[in-house]
Structure 1
Amino acid sequence: MSPLPPLKIGPVEIGFPVVQAALSGYSDWPMRVLARRYGASYALNEVMLDRFAVEVKGRGKTQHHLRLTNEEHPVGGQLMGADPDAFPPAARRLVECGFDVIDINFGCPVKSAMGGCRGGYHLSQPDVALEIVRRVRDAVPDRIPVSVKMRRGIDDTAESRDRFFRILDGAFAIGVAAVTVHGRTVEQRYVGPSNWEFLREVKEQAGERTVLGSGDLFDAESCLRMIRETGVDGVTVARGAIANPWIFSQARALAAGEPLPPPPTVHEQRETMREHLGLCIETYGPQKGFGAFRKFAIKYTRLHPEYEQVRNDCATVRTLAEWDGYLQRWYSEDAPGQYPLVDETAEASAGSR
């Protein structure tokens, strides 16, 4: 296999073209740092509403939303909102906080976003979407690239397709450095396969301009296959990276022509969970940190050879003391792990926004 060209987003050098997507409720500082340590060359913060990004303080209960550290760079900040006037101050705030790329979310399919005329709703109104892009591009310094996240349309109608390409072409004309496209429609949410053929069409239309693909990337092989089959410049791993940071190092190995690394052993899983929990406690404090970690803990069980029993036991753990006992019961003896089996129905609530 020929080597994968390194990814760039405008002037920002990303490198290996398999990166971590923005994940609402998940891609906080601990998850992003862990992804970077395990091979992701770039990660996006969980999406923030435009007004919240302006109002959030650098201290107290909400300070973690804007937490960045040196080992994260380059790192992207994602914004979502309804009013074009609210985007410029939010974008400037993210730049002041140290984000290297500003990403605009035109892809979120959840009811709260659609009902609030945010996220994927903008795919139905190209004029408003492009005004948002223009406002953000004008608001931030030239050295800060702006990118856009889209789905392939509201639905599968010809009108929806036309609106998609109007936004795509218009955004590039305004000066966005990259566009990420999820192969499902907003109407689909997370049901049915992601349309990779559409990604090929988008890349053919974009030409030399940077396009990233998204959708159905749950293992390292799929990440590389999307790049090679569609021609996109890179891929963003969303649900496939939750409690599975190894996906990035596995993709790097395959891209280098090496065999697929075995799944992490039980002891390797244990040490990574301890690392992840430590990052959560550093961010939120002991009690809230463990609370933030629990939604990841249940997903780490997918890699355990006795998955069902371990998952059921994990669901009962409520305190750090109980967590220590749980690790002793299930992770004290080493054994080969397994690649995580992903239930699309169960995962749908943890979608990339």
Structure 2
Amino acid sequence: MSSLAPFPETPLIEGIRPLQIGNVAIGFPVVQAALSGYSDWAMRVLARRMGASYSLCEVMLDQFLVGLKDRRRTQHFLYNTPEEHPVAGQLMGAEPEQFSLGAQKLVEAGFAVIDINFGCPVRKVLGRCRGGFHLSQPTVALEIVKRTRDIVPASIPVTIKMRRGIDDTTESRDRFYEILDGAFAYGIAAITVHGRTVEQRYIGPSRWEFLREVKRHVGDRIILGSGDLFSARDCLRMMQETDVDGVTVARGCIGNPWIFQQARALFAGQPIPPPPSLFEQREVILEHFRLAEELYGEDRAGVPMRKFGIKYSQLHPESLAVRAEFARVKNLQEWKSVLEKWYSEDLPGIYPQYSELESECE
């Protein structure tokens, strides 16, 4: 995990520029998305070391933040360090007043950007009038935007994550643009648009042509694209096909932080590095567990790391067998045992396959 050269001010590929969100200079325009249950401090630090110039923490509920006490078992939610900055705190909720109070908690925790989640398609979230549900009610959505922008200091950018609407009806499309235009009018610095509807969840392709339409509509305002970014080539292709200002990698970077390294090479006009060998994977996987121990404590890191082990297994040529082993890990010793058994020979890795239906909240 070597140090990274800064993204050049003069782009090596025509049309690609360094990303800027408000007064926060991001640089390399491929960033790590907020991923519920995944994008904790450990994952974000690894992404940063592997080439992500910016990341977002996993989404947090406003009511949870408002009532949050300074306790060992919950401190990981707001934990961030200088190594990973700039990093954004993402917030989700239902009521405008409580939402803004939650945003204030993220400011106090030191996040460089505050991101509003109007995109989560998970059913239990929608049922509680949160996330993507707000795309059905522009008045409430824009009240949340206004209150959040008012309570967050002017020096800290506020951004939004949206999907292209609740569904593909004309009414849904009109509401999307009402929220989009209204949010920019209230001083939102950037908006990330996922190319699927809330109703689609993760089924069917992300509609990239809609991103191109949105970018044409907003002109010089900052739009980031999201949806179906599973490789470095996907990242470059989305930017070239849609003219968005940056892309946020979600499911494609879970267990595969090398995607940022590969994207940096591609954007610099270099060949894409091959998939990491098993020894390269072993080094990063072991470091991920060490970071998780630092975040959660030795006695609690094992269980949350299982889901990462399962994702890392996708890069192993014996992925199904390795996946089964990681799924049973309880502690560092068992983690090391899996590495000793399956990563003891420096074989070539493989690019991960994304054929299964997944439902992370992004």
Superposed pair shares fold, TM > 0.5: yes
Alignment partner of 1:32 out of 35, 44, 49: 44
Alignment of structure 1 residues 243-282 onto 2, 5 Å: 243-282=255-294
Q: Mean Cα displacement is larger for which, 207-216 or 283-292?
A: 283-292
SS of the residue 1:288 aligns to: coil
Residue 46 (1) aligns with residue 58 (2): yes
Q: CA deviation at 1:58?
A: 3.0
The answer as to whether partners of 1:277 and 1:293 remain within 8 angstroms in 2 is: yes
Distance 2:261 2:336 in 1: 28
SS in 1 for 2:74: helix
Q: Mind listing any 5+ residue stretches in structure 1 that lack a counterpart?
A: none
Q: Is the 8 A contact 1:15 1:41 kept in 2?
A: yes
Judge which range, 304-313 or 276-285, deviates more.
304-313
Provide the residue aligned with 1:327 in structure 2: 339
- Cα distance, 1:89 vs structure 2: 1.4
Q: Which amino acid aligns with 1:160?
A: S
Q: Tell me the secondary structure at the aligned position of residue 116 of structure 2.
A: strand
- 1:205: which partner in 2? 217
Work out which of the residue numbers 94, 97, 120 in structure 1 matches 2:132: 120
- Worse-superposed segment, 211-220 or 88-97: 88-97
Deviation at 1:3, TM superposition (A): 6.4
Q: Is the 8 A contact 1:56 1:63 kept in 2?
A: no
Distance 2:74 2:146 in 1: 29
1:97-155 deviations in Å (ceiling 9; x for gaps)? 10010000000111111000000000000000000000000001111111010000000
1:141-180 to structure 2, matched below 5 A, reads 141-180=153-192
> 1:106 aligned to 2:118?
yes
Name the structure 2 match of 1:16. 28
- Give the counterpart of 1:73 among 85, 92, 99: 85
Quote the Cα distance in structure 1 between the aligned partners of 2:288 and 2:331: 16
Give the secondary structure class of the aligned counterpart of 1:102: strand
Q: CA–CA distance in 1 between the matches of 2:351 and 2:57?
A: 26
Q: Deviations over 1:180-238 (max 9, x none)?
A: 00000000000000000000000000100000000000111001110110000000000
CA contact under 8 A between 1:101 and 1:146: conserved in structure 2? yes
2:105 match: 93
- Whichever residue aligns with residue 182 of structure 1, its letter is H
Q: Does structure 2 retain, via aligned residues, the 8 Å contact 1:238–1:351?
A: no
What is the alpha-carbon distance in structure 1 between the residues aligned to residue 49 and residue 169 of structure 2?
A: 42
Q: 2:321 corresponds to which letter in structure 1?
A: Q
Match of 1:349 in 2: 359
TM-score by length of 1: 0.97
Secondary structure at 2:16 match in 1: coil
CA distance 1:344–1:168, change in 2 (3 Å)? farther
User: Retained in 2: the 8 A contact 1:190–1:351?
Assistant: no
Do the aligned partners of 2:15 and 2:240 also contact (CA within 8 Å) in 1? Answer: no
Matched-pair contact (CA < 8 Å) for 1:76–1:100: yes
Query: Gapped runs of 5+ residues in structure 2?
Result: 1-12
Q: CA RMSD in A?
A: 1.1
Length, aligned pairs only: 350
Q: Please tell me whether the aligned partners of residues 28 and 65 of structure 1 are also in contact (alpha carbons under 8 angstroms).
A: yes
Task: Give me the identity figure in percent.
Answer: 65
- When you count helix as a share of all residues, which structure comes out higher? 1
Rounded to whole Å, the distance in 2 between the matches of 1:194 and 1:344 is 16
Separation of aligned partners in 2, 1:335 and 1:259: 21
Alignment partner of 2:201: what SS?
coil
Q: CA shift at 1:13, angstroms?
A: 0.5
User: Residues 240-267 of structure 1, C-alpha deviation per residue, up to 9 Å, x if partnerless?
Assistant: 1101100001000000000010110000
Calculate the TM-score normalised by the size of structure 2: 0.95
Contact 1:11 1:143 in 2 (8 A): yes
Contact 2:307–2:327 (CA<8 Å) still a contact in 1? no
1:277 partner amino acid? F
Q: Which of 62, 80, 83 in structure 1 is aligned with 2:95?
A: 83
SS at match of 2:178: helix
CA distance in 2, matches of 1:292, 1:315: 10
Residues 55, 153 of structure 1: alpha-carbon distance in 2 compared, 3 angstrom cutoff: same
**Separation in structure 2 between the aligned mates of residue 275 and residue 3 of structure 1, nearest angstrom:** 36
Q: Do residues 56 (structure 1) and 56 (structure 2) align? A: no
- Distance (Å, rounded) in 2 between the aligned partners of 1:3 and 1:304: 35
Counterpart in 2 of 1:297? 309
Q: Deviations over 1:275-325 (max 9, x none)?
A: 100000001111211211111001101101122222233333334333222
Residue 230 of structure 1 corresponds to which residue in structure 2? 242
